[in-house]
């Protein structure tokens, strides 16, 4: 099974310490990286934003963590991910989990890849205070990559079972 960390590193879709005025700008930062990497088209970004406006903050997955995503048919070109950390957290409208400063974007080409690749790995990452804390404290992309590689090795070794 492919690792979402490997895909992040290969596509160079990691941005640390970004500035965003609000949730929409935060979503656009990650979306732009994914577009530039050839993973999604602009429809996907627009759908994530529209869905948030219509449904609410459905992609807030843990305190301070969002996983912006939409359905594959809304513009996924190939499975890929992006990671954005914010210098200052922003509100997404989720009383329990706001403000958000870590965004893990998922764009899976089909539901099977999403459910088997992204969900288990991202869920473990989000549940790990150690790795989330380390990502929040990463000062640059290289430090974030090191944290993600350490997490991936622990995940592959079954340390979260």
Tell me which residues are annotated as active site.
69
User: What span, in angstroms and rounded, lies between the C-alpha atoms of 81 and 74?
Assistant: 15
- Give, in order, the Cα–Cα distances in Å from 116 to each of 1, 4, 74, 110, 111: 8, 11, 20, 10, 8
54 near 93, Cβ under 8 Å?
no
Secondary structure letter of residue 158 according to DSSP: T
| Half-sphere exposure for 51 (CA within 13 Å, toward CB) | 17
User: What span, in angstroms and rounded, lies between the C-alpha atoms of 73 and 92?
Assistant: 24
- Residue 78 backbone class (left: φ over 0; alpha: ψ -120 to 50; beta: rest): beta
Residue with tokens 């989990």: 97
């Amino acid at each position: 099974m492919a690792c979402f960390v490997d895909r992040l590193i290969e596509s160079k879709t990691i941005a640390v310490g970004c500035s965003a005025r609000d949730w929409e700008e935060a979503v656009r930062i990650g979306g732009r990286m994914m577009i530039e990497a050839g993973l999604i088209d602009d429809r996907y970004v627009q759908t994530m934003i529209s869905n948030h406006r219509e449904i609410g903050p459905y992609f807030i997955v843990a305190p301070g963590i969002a996983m912006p995503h939409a359905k594959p048919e809304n513009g996924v070109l190939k499975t890929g991910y992006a990671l954005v950390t914010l210098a200052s957290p922003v509100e997404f409208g989720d009383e329990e989990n706001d403000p958000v400063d870590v965004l893990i974007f998922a764009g899976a080409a089909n539901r099977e890849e999403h459910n088997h690749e992204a969900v288990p790995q991202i869920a473990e990452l989000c549940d790990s205070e150690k790795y989330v804390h380390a990502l929040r404290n990463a000062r640059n992309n290289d430090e974030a990559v090191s944290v993600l590689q350490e997490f991936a090795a622990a995940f592959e070794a079954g340390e979260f079972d």
